[in-house]
């Protein structure tokens, strides 16, 4: 037990070393690592169970778009050797059972308070401790406050006139019921064609009598190429796990796949085609990282888009429908590429109709369905909102976090998130945000990203104790410089050009700021390691 960590009365749980908000991948590892290091830790979780997004997002077809073997913890070799993933891309249910297994295996539940949300966290400037309050009225004092709330956890419910008057069933993909929903014999309307809609639509279409898809903006999607994993597949993956993890940590997105070494424009057409084909067969989101300049120049990006378009048009029977499904407003990959299983083919079914909201926007929702401009009424029994999230900052913003001089984090971030390395913010000592804005965040494999951040925080805590310091706080200069670094890097790519949730464009009134660190997961890992190596350069170490 660490000397400083063991100070104070930790027995009643109202005075601990660390409060972690959230029991998803990030929060659970934070609990495990910091508890192992001798700190007393309490985790508060809004759901009645562990899992975070994998607890909530149970819509039909929900899967991860990162391969299961990579989207899993690396911190314990026995764990990764003993767990058997059944499919290349795991379903929500399988990921949730994995997370529950981890919680049980490492005896994590005893330090988690479920069905309880943190509402407030206030800094005591004298002691530099955080007074954390929950919606059950509990108040806990903590030295460290770790926000592990996830960048995609605050549902975006669209402000459509009459939505509340709908008399049928309304479901949001990220707040899906826990008992299976049976669409048999129903007329279903889905609003939204992002990752969630694109995964759910083929599944709903198989059951429903009639499915109307209300599309505002088409998205790029690449087939998952999901397959069951055989014993041989698993054995091969596990035999090579260490190397797989090493490459992932060095990679652009946290998976062990490296981009082609040359520019998309510097290789002969056959070689380019072959590289895209290989990524297409790998499946999913990594298609956007086939060539290093694909997200940098329009010319390189166009080669990826052309490849994609040929593939997709070929599987859609009706050329007019295909025309509506091909994105025209953004470069491929500047919004997260979706990962699907027979999404585009679903529009070949007789019971599926694509409603183009660009031509006829939704006017209102009434008791029995959706009315679009021009007066056409779509009769609907169940309405599915696949309308996404108030991403990156939405769940942090729901808490009233008050730092130095009574300044709230929401005030501080009013013009967009301000962080140093995505980890800390000046005025908020000993508060850390995991895998949020300012870090690679949603551009990387969240599980490895969470481990990277938690390990960095744990090492920083140890360093503080070794130095006899109480707190660590980003300096204003470091925050400003990091903001500049993020902007410069993002502006050097095509990424900020799209109206994506990366820039907050999906939420009316949000400042337009490209929030993730775009320079790659491996590069980011080096940067934060160098900062630590240099005695936490850019942070002030505060004495008691
Ligand atoms: P997304 O990617 O934000 O997609 C939301 C979809 O909902 C998108 O097609 C939106 O159209 C649509 N939308 C939102 N509001 C409306 C209204 N008012 N009317 C019509 N259509 C609307 O969320 P997802 O849940 O699919 O995916 C989020 C991430 O989770 C994903 O990238 C993975 O990383 C996991 P728009 O594009 O705004 O025109």
Report whether pLDDT(421) > 50: yes
Is 85 inside a domain boundary? yes
What is the phi-psi region of residue 342: left when phi exceeds 0, alpha when psi lies from -120 to 50, beta otherwise?
A: left
Residue 333 near ligand 1, beta carbon < 6 Å: no
**What pLDDT sits at residue 332?**
97
Best CA proximity match to 389, nearest among 296, 505, 218, 537:
505
| Structure token pair of residue 122 | 């206030």
Residue nearest to atom 23 of ligand 1 (CA): 388
Residue 158 near ligand 1, beta carbon < 6 Å: yes
Q: Which atom of ligand 1 is nearest to the CA of 357?
A: 20
pLDDT digits (tens, 9 = 90+) for 357-413: 999 999 999 999 999 999 999 999 999 999 999 999 999 999 999 999 999 999 999
**Which residues sit opposite 120 in a β-bridge?**
133, 400
Query: How many CA atoms within 13 Å lie on the side-chain side of 490?
Result: 24
pLDDT (average), residues 467-481: 98
**C-alpha radius of gyration, the chain, whole number:** 23
**Domain edge (last residue) among 309, 332, 355:** 332
Query: H-helix or E-strand containing 540?
Result: strand 539-542
- Beta strand pairing call for 431-433 and 471-474: unpaired
In sign, the C-alpha dihedral spanning 131, 134, 139, 143 is negative
Q: Are 91 and 61 in contact (CB under 8 A)?
A: no
Q: Are 19 and 397 in contact (CB under 8 A)?
A: no
Q: What is the domain count for the chain?
A: 3
Q: What is the mean pLDDT of the chain?
A: 95
Test site for ligand 1: of 195, 200, 222, most ligand atoms within 8 A of the Cβ: 195
Is 9 inside a domain boundary? no
Is residue 49 domain-shared with residue 148, that is, in the same domain? yes
Residue nearest to atom 21 of ligand 1 (CA): 192
Is residue 55 domain-shared with residue 95, that is, in the same domain? yes
Residue 255 near ligand 1, beta carbon < 6 Å: no
Residue 92 near ligand 1, beta carbon < 6 Å: no
CATH of the domain at 520: 3.50.50.60
Residue 134 near ligand 1, beta carbon < 6 Å: no
- Beta strand pairing call for 471-474 and 539-542: antiparallel
Residue 253 near ligand 1, beta carbon < 6 Å: no
- Distance from Cα 146 to the centre of ligand 1, integer Å: 28
**What pLDDT sits at residue 303?**
98
- Distance from Cα 16 to the centre of ligand 1, integer Å: 39
Test site for ligand 1: of 64, 157, 192, 200, most ligand atoms within 8 A of the Cβ: 192
Is residue 80 domain-shared with residue 122, that is, in the same domain? yes
Is 304 inside a domain boundary? yes
- Distance from Cα 510 to the centre of ligand 1, integer Å: 15
Direct distance between the N- and C-terminal alpha carbons of the chain, in angstroms, rounded to an integer: 20
**Entry pTM:** 0.96
Is residue 130 domain-shared with residue 174, that is, in the same domain? no
For the range 480-488, what are the long-range contacts, defined as Cβ-Cβ under 8 Å and sequence gap of 24 or more?
480/418, 481/538, 482/419, 482/420, 482/421, 482/438, 482/538, 483/418, 483/419, 483/438, 486/438, 486/514, 486/517, 486/518, 487/514
pLDDT (average), residues 117-134: 98
Residue nearest to atom 24 of ligand 1 (CA): 388
Q: Are 425 and 419 in contact (CB under 8 A)?
A: yes
Is residue 381 domain-shared with residue 404, that is, in the same domain? no
**Domain edge (last residue) among 351, 371, 388:** 388
Residue 194 near ligand 1, beta carbon < 6 Å: yes
Report DSSP letters for 352-367, one per residue: EEEEETTTS-EEEEET
Residue 199 near ligand 1, beta carbon < 6 Å: no
As a whole number of angstroms, the distance between CA 364 and CA 371 comes to: 5
**What pLDDT sits at residue 7?**
36
Q: Which atom of ligand 1 is nearest to the CA of 193?
A: 9
**Which residues sit opposite 541 in a β-bridge?**
472
How does residue 271 score in pLDDT terms, banded at 50, 70 and 90? very high
- Distance from Cα 267 to the centre of ligand 1, integer Å: 35
- Distance from Cα 385 to the centre of ligand 1, integer Å: 9
Is residue 470 domain-shared with residue 446, that is, in the same domain? yes
Is residue 143 domain-shared with residue 169, that is, in the same domain? no
Residue nearest to atom 35 of ligand 1 (CA): 195
Is residue 523 domain-shared with residue 414, that is, in the same domain? yes
Query: H-helix or E-strand containing 311?
Result: helix 298-313
pLDDT digits (tens, 9 = 90+) for 273-295: 999 999 999 888 889 999 999 99
pLDDT digits (tens, 9 = 90+) for 523-543: 999 999 999 999 999 999 999
Is 169 inside a domain boundary? yes
pLDDT digits (tens, 9 = 90+) for 76-104: 999 999 999 999 999 999 999 999 999 99
Residue 189 near ligand 1, beta carbon < 6 Å: no
**Domain edge (last residue) among 306, 332, 358:** 332
As a whole number of angstroms, the distance between CA 113 and CA 125 comes to: 27
How does residue 13 score in pLDDT terms, banded at 50, 70 and 90? confident
| Containing structural domain, residue 320 | 259-332
Is residue 108 domain-shared with residue 202, that is, in the same domain? no
- Distance from Cα 192 to the centre of ligand 1, integer Å: 5
- Distance from Cα 92 to the centre of ligand 1, integer Å: 19
Is 252 inside a domain boundary? no
Best CA proximity match to 98, nearest among 113, 83, 77, 82:
83
Best CA proximity match to 124, nearest among 137, 142, 139:
142
Is residue 146 domain-shared with residue 86, that is, in the same domain? yes
Q: Are 400 and 120 in contact (CB under 8 A)?
A: yes
3-state SS assignment for residue 384: strand
Is 239 inside a domain boundary? no
- Beta strand pairing call for 382-385 and 352-356: unpaired
How does residue 12 score in pLDDT terms, banded at 50, 70 and 90? low
**What pLDDT sits at residue 380?**
98
Residue 160 near ligand 1, beta carbon < 6 Å: yes
Is residue 25 domain-shared with residue 146, that is, in the same domain? yes
Residue 197 near ligand 1, beta carbon < 6 Å: yes
| Residue 158: count of CB within 10 angstroms of its CB | 16
In sign, the C-alpha dihedral spanning 350, 354, 360, 364 is positive
Tell me the CA distances in angstroms from 524 to 3, 241, 251, one per residue in order: 32, 22, 10
pLDDT (average), residues 457-470: 97
Is 230 inside a domain boundary? no
- Distance from Cα 285 to the centre of ligand 1, integer Å: 16
Query: H-helix or E-strand containing 113?
Result: strand 112-113
**What pLDDT sits at residue 284?**
82
Is 451 inside a domain boundary? yes
pLDDT digits (tens, 9 = 90+) for 301-335: 999 999 999 999 999 999 999 999 999 999 999 99
Report whether pLDDT(11) > 50: no
pLDDT (average), residues 61-70: 95
Torsion angle of the four alpha carbons 419, 422, 424, 426, in this order, in degrees rounded to the nearest 10: -10
Is residue 413 domain-shared with residue 445, that is, in the same domain? yes
């Amino acid at each position: 037990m660490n000397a400083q960590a063991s100070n104070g009365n930790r027995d009643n749980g109202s005075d601990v070393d660390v409060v972690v908000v959230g029991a998803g991948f990030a929060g659970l590892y934070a609990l495990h690592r910091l508890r192992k290091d001798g700190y007393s830790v309490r985790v508060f979780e809004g759901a009645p169970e562990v899992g975070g997004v994998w607890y909530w997002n149970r819509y039909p077809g929900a899967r991860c778009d990162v391969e299961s073997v990579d989207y899993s913890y690396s911190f314990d070799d026995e764990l990764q050797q003993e767990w058997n993933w059944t499919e290349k891309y795991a379903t929500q249910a399988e990921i949730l059972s994995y997370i529950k297994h981890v919680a049980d295996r490492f005896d994590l539940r005893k330090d988690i308070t479920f069905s309880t949300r943190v509402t407030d966290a206030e800094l005591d400037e004298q002691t530099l401790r955080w007074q954390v309050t929950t919606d059950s009225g509990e108040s806990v004092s903590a030295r460290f406050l770790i926000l592990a709330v996830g960048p995609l956890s605050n549902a975006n419910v669209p402000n459509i006139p009459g939505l509340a008057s709908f008399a049928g069933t309304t479901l949001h993909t990220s707040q899906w019921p826990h008992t299976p929903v049976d669409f048999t014999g129903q007329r279903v309307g889905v609003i939204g064609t992002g990752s969630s809609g694109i995964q759910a639509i083929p599944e709903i279409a198989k059951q429903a009598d009639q499915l109307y898809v209300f599309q505002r903006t088409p998205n790029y999607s690449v087939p998952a190429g999901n397959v069951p994993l055989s014993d041989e597949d698993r054995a091969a993956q596990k035999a090579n796990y260490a190397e797989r993890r090493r490459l992932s940590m060095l990679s652009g997105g946290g998976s062990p796949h490296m981009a082609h070494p040359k520019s998309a424009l510097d290789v002969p057409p056959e070689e380019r085609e072959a590289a895209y084909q290989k990524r297409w067969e790998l499946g999913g989101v990594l298609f956007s990282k086939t060539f290093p300049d694909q997200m940098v120049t329009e010319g390189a990006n166009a080669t990826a888009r052309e490849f994609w378009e040929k593939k997709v048009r070929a599987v859609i029977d009706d050329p007019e429908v295909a025309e509506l499904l091909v994105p025209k407003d953004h470069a491929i990959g500047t919004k997260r590429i979706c990962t699907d299983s027979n999404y585009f083919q679903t529009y070949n079914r007789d019971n599926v109709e694509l409603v183009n909201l660009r031509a006829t926007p939704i006017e209102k929702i009434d008791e029995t369905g959706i009315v679009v401009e021009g007066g056409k009424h779509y009769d609907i029994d169940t309405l599915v909102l696949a309308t996404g999230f108030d991403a990156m900052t939405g769940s942090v913003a729901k808490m009233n976090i008050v730092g130095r001089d009574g300044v709230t984090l929401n005030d501080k971030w009013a013009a967009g998130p301000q962080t140093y390395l995505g980890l800390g913010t000046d005025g908020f000592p000993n508060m850390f945000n995991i895998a949020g804005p300012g870090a690679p965040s949603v551009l990387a494999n969240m599980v490895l990203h969470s481990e990277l951040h938690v390990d960095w925080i744990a090492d920083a805590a140890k360093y503080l104790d070794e130095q006899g310091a109480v707190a660590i706080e980003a300096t204003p200069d470091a925050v400003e410089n990091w903001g500049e670094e993020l902007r410069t890097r993002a502006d050097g790519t095509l990424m900020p050009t799209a109206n994506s949730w990366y820039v907050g464009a999906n939420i009316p009134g949000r400042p337009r700021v490209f929030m993730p660190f775009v320079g790659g997961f491996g590069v980011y890992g080096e940067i934060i390691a160098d900062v630590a190596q240099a005695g936490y350069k850019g942070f002030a170490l505060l004495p008691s």
